Structure formats: C-alpha cells, structure tokens
Amino acid sequence: MRGTITAVLAAVALTLAAGCSSDGGGGDEEGALNATEFAQKANRLCSEAASDRQTILSGIDPEASGPEQAEQLAGIIDIDQKLLEEVDDLVPPQKDQDTVDQLLDEWRDRLDLEDQLREATANEDAGEVSALQSQVEEVDGRANPIAGGLLLNECTRGERV
C-alpha cells in the first residue's frame, strides 16, 4: 500500500511540475488510465465482485439471523473490501479523481454499515438489522449516481444484504 501511495504522489508531483495536460483523453497523469479504460477495468472488477456476492447471497435466508448468516455476511464484507482496494488501486484520469474518491468514501461507509449489520445479525437484533439495511440503501442511493456518472454501471448496488 505504501508503494502505491508513493507512486501516486510521485505521479501527481510530476504532473504538477509539467503543467496540466489538456489531451481530452483523461490520461493526464503518468500511469493514469483514460476514462474509458478506467470504466472498463472498474466494471470488470465490480462484475466479478457481484458474481461472488451472488454466490454467497443465494445461500442466505433473508428472514433468518444468527451466527451462520453473520458468517455469510462476513464473506460479503471481504468481497466488498477487496473490491474497494482493487478499484482504489486503479489510477483514474486526474479530472475524475475527486469523483472516484467520493465513490470510494461511500463504499467505505457501506463497509462500515455492513460490519454493523453482520454484528446485529449475529446478535439476532431484528430492529437493528432493519435500521442498518435502510442505512445501506441510503448509501447506495448516494453512491449509485456517482458510479453512473463515471460509467461504472456494474458498480451500482441495490440488493439488500
């Protein structure tokens, strides 16, 4: 992780030293993907994560709770954490960096809520589970338009965990 941060900071410093590019392709930072490349790579990662999530979700009884379901939710959290890290490792066009950061912040909020949901499920606290599911939906409601604006259509969420 430290190497990635150092590489990104070095690339930003080089970009600032060279002046802003106006190539329109969005690949204006050394190592940065253009908008299309970024969307393609992120969509592929999101599609793979959705498939992995669906495998776990197909075994969850939405009306049940308890330790077994909490363990399955832990699997979802692992998938979502890996996805966040992989998308964060992609270098978007400089012009999209702030928007990507907003999306990743929403995904971090979702991960925090998913962890709370896992705990509430393990404790069989139906009221807390319901409240947390509503909060997850709110986060998705904020994240989905951001993802859509970046053409990350495979990265929108809506299922209830």
Residue 37 is predicted with a pLDDT of: 97
Task: Calculate the dihedral angle through the C-alpha atoms of 87, 71, 54, 101, rounding to the nearest 10 degrees.
Answer: -20
Q: What is the pLDDT of residues 51-87, one digit of tens each?
A: 999 998 887 666 666 888 898 899 999 999 999 999 9
Report residue 28's pLDDT band, with 50, 70 and 90 as the boundaries: low
Residue 42's contacts (CB-CB under 8 Å, 6 or more residues apart) are 87, 90, 150, 152, 154, 155
| Secondary structure of residue 58 in the 3-state scheme | coil
Distance of CA 122 to the CA centre of its chain: 24
Q: What is the pLDDT of residues 78-118, one digit of tens each?
A: 999 999 999 999 999 999 999 999 999 999 999 999 999 99
Residue 64 is predicted with a pLDDT of: 63
Task: Calculate the dihedral angle through the C-alpha atoms of 144, 145, 147, 152, rounding to the nearest 10 degrees.
Answer: 100
